[in-house]
Structure 1
Amino acid sequence: MDTSTGEITIPGQVRVNPLRDAAAAHNLDWLRAHGMLRDDEAEQHYNRWNIPQLAAVSFPDAGLADLCLAVDQCAFYFLFDDQFDADLGALPAEVARVCAPLISTLHTGRAPEKPSPVESAFADLWRRESQGMSPRWRSRAAYHWEGYFSAHPSEALGRRTLHADHFPSRAAYMVLRRGASGVDTVLDMVERILGEIPPTIFHNPTVTLMRQLAGDAPAVNNDVYSYPKEAPRGDVYNLAVILQHERQCGLDEAFALVHGDATRMVEEFYRLNALVPELCVELGLTPSETEATLRYREGLADWMRGYFTWEASTIRYRPEGALPLDQPNYLEELL
């Protein structure tokens, strides 16, 4: 049975990790412990997003410790990202200053001496995520996290130049979107949870393109769901915003074009997916390496299928889930 989210159909059925509720309970404790949730109103607002469900449908085979890590990481993305939906989000140099200690943690393994909530939470995430992984994986994951944090000042620059009628090109958008969405760090978690795959297959062009598509399709499609939240706050790194400017078209047409792009990405992913078993043979992978690679390709599909499903159901991107535009898009200062 295929999974349909209304606009996009994805082969296979969504599976939900049975450890979801236990991971959800851990997640609230973890967020409170690091100061990421401090009062009841903020906790209620966060709970409405149903972040544990996102992790549970994206990583249905994860054990409890790994699922807890996945939920915590998902929570970090959203709570951190929302901190820039205010005046700070249009101050590139200040955003860079905020992100610098987080980048340093990747290389020191430590939070600053007096950490903010996000600095404390991220240091714990990075410690747990990198524990037991190969130097090759840790180097790559650190590079992806560095790209994620470094994309935020450039997003802020885009907000600042909006009023000068400066819109990014589609190519520039795709580069920044991959960084700012954090999707490469999510896909690193596929190996973290399901096992590392050999470099020869990881860097093979077919698998590299599959990974890119598995990241780009949800990120691009998210621009439709997040448009009501982002466009009024001046975000230009949204494909629907860019297409309206480039095509001089209405919002409905822009949304249809975005959905069309995401659909083509999903279709291409599954075309390439079918080539992987033969690639394993041609590259001389051992039976255990082949098994790990087949798990990996299914993990990429689980992520894509899970995200599309969660995105269509969460209140985070609905008008009733948004905070008023005349105030920051968060309830607590975490930086």
Structure 2
Amino acid sequence: MSRKDPPKGNNTTAPQLAPPAAPLSARPAPSEMDGVRDTHLEWLHRHGLLETTESTRRYRQSQVADLAAYCDPESKDLLLSYNVIGWIFLHDDWMDTSADRMADHAVTAELITILHRPLLPTYPLASAFADIWGTLQTGMSEAWRQRMAWLWQQYFYGNLAEAVDRRERRKLTSSEHIRVKEASVAIAVMYAVAERTGGFEIPAELWHATFLNTLRHHVTRYIIFMNDIESFKQDEAAERTNLISLTMAEMGLSSRQSLQHISAQASEHLQNFYTLEAGIDQFCRALHLPANVRHSVGAHIAGLHNWVHGSSDWYRITSRYSLEDTSADSLT
């Protein structure tokens, strides 16, 4: 990337910043949501993840699980998509608000164990995850299962790292914050979940190929940056780490300048994704991929587009990041 970084320090003159990322055009709301929400809520109640009428009301009002319908519109099992997304949000919230270090480690240990062998769960989060993990594996190859287990572990350890950093009151740099979020937001998990719900599978050697890995990198960075933009006001009010506030401190920017700077970086990652994906045909030809594998590669890249556009549409309807929402502890 050739764009120069704005100067550091407590500048009083605004640096020359690229314009903010243009809003993506809105797409129609998925039509299947209404029929899945109630069944999804029943699943959460069955596993003890929403214990009160108030927590159920707040969860429904936040529309967090509707992210599944927006970002996985090709899903052949939308209930599974909802259950995975809903579980991830509730697990993330629990880790964000837990005051019990031993419980954090115990839950994480159970979750990781479930990935490798049968276990009788002792925590509601683990019970629900065991259900999800069993369903996710259905019809998938052993190579995919191993990759999926590895991605889940990265997510679990990312959340554990966040919990440790909070208790230590560690002051992260912006680059450290981004590295932690790349694991803790579970976006890599969801790219792989889209294979299962979409009825295709990327061979292991292609998943790790630089071409596809770079495309995922740019989409992931875009999603992380836009998420921190959306959650900035709430994170600021709750004194949580956010890329906007870290950039303000590191570069001597106002909140407006920092928002503009991160938005421009998000836009740059998105443009890099659009530019690089033009090489998909050359990638497939160079590897002499058969038609069915080319279809899977195309479906995977379409899934990345769904996450870019779907997350943008979801931000328009969710109350998750409003200041009126009391955030993580409001859903549990």
Q: TM-score range by the shorter chain?
A: 0.7 to 0.9
Q: How many pairs align? A: 312
Structure 1 Cα separation of the partners of residues 116 and 59 of structure 2: 30
- Residue 152 of structure 1 is aligned with which of 140, 152, 159? 159
- Residue 125 of structure 2 is aligned with which of 112, 118, 131? 118
Are 2:255 and 1:242 aligned?
A: no
Structure 2 Cα separation of the partners of residues 135 and 87 of structure 1: 34
- Aligned 1:178-193 pairs, distance under 5 A: 178-193=182-197
- Aligned 1:121-200 pairs, distance under 5 A: 121-162=128-169, 166-194=170-198, 195-200=200-205
Structure 1 Cα separation of the partners of residues 160 and 65 of structure 2: 28
For structure 2, which runs of at least 5 residues remain unmatched after alignment? Answer: 1-19
What's the counterpart of residue 202 of structure 1?
207
Tell me, what secondary structure is at the counterpart of 1:319? Answer: coil
**Quick check: 135-144 or 246-255, which moved more?**
246-255
Structure 2 Cα separation of the partners of residues 17 and 110 of structure 1: 36
CA shift in 2, pair 1:314/1:125, >3 Å: same
Are 2:61 and 1:48 aligned?
A: yes
Are 2:272 and 1:268 aligned?
A: yes
What's the counterpart of residue 27 of structure 2?
14
Are 2:294 and 1:280 aligned?
A: no
Structure 1 Cα separation of the partners of residues 63 and 22 of structure 2: 21
What's the counterpart of residue 259 of structure 1?
263
CA shift in 2, pair 1:120/1:244, >3 Å: same
TM-score (norm 1): 0.86
Q: Structure 1, residues 104-142: CA drift from partner, whole Å, max 9, x if none?
A: 111114342xx2221111111111112221111111111
CA shift at 1:39, angstroms?
A: 2.0
CA shift in 2, pair 1:231/1:84, >3 Å: farther
Structure 1 Cα separation of the partners of residues 85 and 137 of structure 2: 16
TM-score (norm 2): 0.86
Q: Does structure 2 retain, via aligned residues, the 8 Å contact 1:201–1:283?
A: no
Letter in 1 for 2:80: L
Q: Which has the higher contact order (CA 8 A, sep 6+)?
A: 2
For structure 1, which runs of at least 5 residues remain unmatched after alignment? Answer: 1-5
Structure 2 Cα separation of the partners of residues 7 and 314 of structure 1: 20
Q: Structure 1, residues 136-166: CA drift from partner, whole Å, max 9, x if none?
A: 111111111111111122212322343xxx5
CA shift in 2, pair 1:7/1:314, >3 Å: farther
Structure 1 Cα separation of the partners of residues 300 and 157 of structure 2: 27
CA shift in 2, pair 1:305/1:68, >3 Å: same
Structure 2 Cα separation of the partners of residues 320 and 179 of structure 1: 28
Q: Does structure 2 retain, via aligned residues, the 8 Å contact 1:190–1:300?
A: no
CA shift at 1:97, angstroms?
A: 3.1
Structure 2 Cα separation of the partners of residues 87 and 203 of structure 1: 35
Are 2:39 and 1:39 aligned?
A: no
Q: Does structure 2 retain, via aligned residues, the 8 Å contact 1:96–1:152?
A: no
Structure 1 Cα separation of the partners of residues 160 and 29 of structure 2: 35
Structure 2 Cα separation of the partners of residues 300 and 228 of structure 1: 27
Are 2:220 and 1:211 aligned?
A: no
CA shift in 2, pair 1:22/1:174, >3 Å: same
Structure 2 Cα separation of the partners of residues 232 and 18 of structure 1: 35
Tell me, what secondary structure is at the counterpart of 2:266? Answer: helix
What's the counterpart of residue 230 of structure 2?
225
Q: Does structure 2 retain, via aligned residues, the 8 Å contact 1:151–1:180?
A: yes
Q: Does structure 1 retain, via aligned residues, the 8 Å contact 2:218–2:270?
A: yes
Q: Does structure 1 retain, via aligned residues, the 8 Å contact 2:219–2:270?
A: yes
Tell me, what secondary structure is at the counterpart of 1:219? Answer: helix
Q: Does structure 2 retain, via aligned residues, the 8 Å contact 1:103–1:146?
A: yes
Paired-residue identity, % = 26
CA shift at 1:234, angstroms?
A: 3.9
- Residue 29 of structure 1 is aligned with which of 42, 47, 60? 42
Q: Does structure 1 retain, via aligned residues, the 8 Å contact 2:62–2:319?
A: yes
**Quick check: 26-35 or 93-102, which moved more?**
93-102
- Aligned 1:91-102 pairs, distance under 5 A: 94-102=103-111
What's the counterpart of residue 57 of structure 1?
70
Q: Does structure 2 retain, via aligned residues, the 8 Å contact 1:15–1:60?
A: no
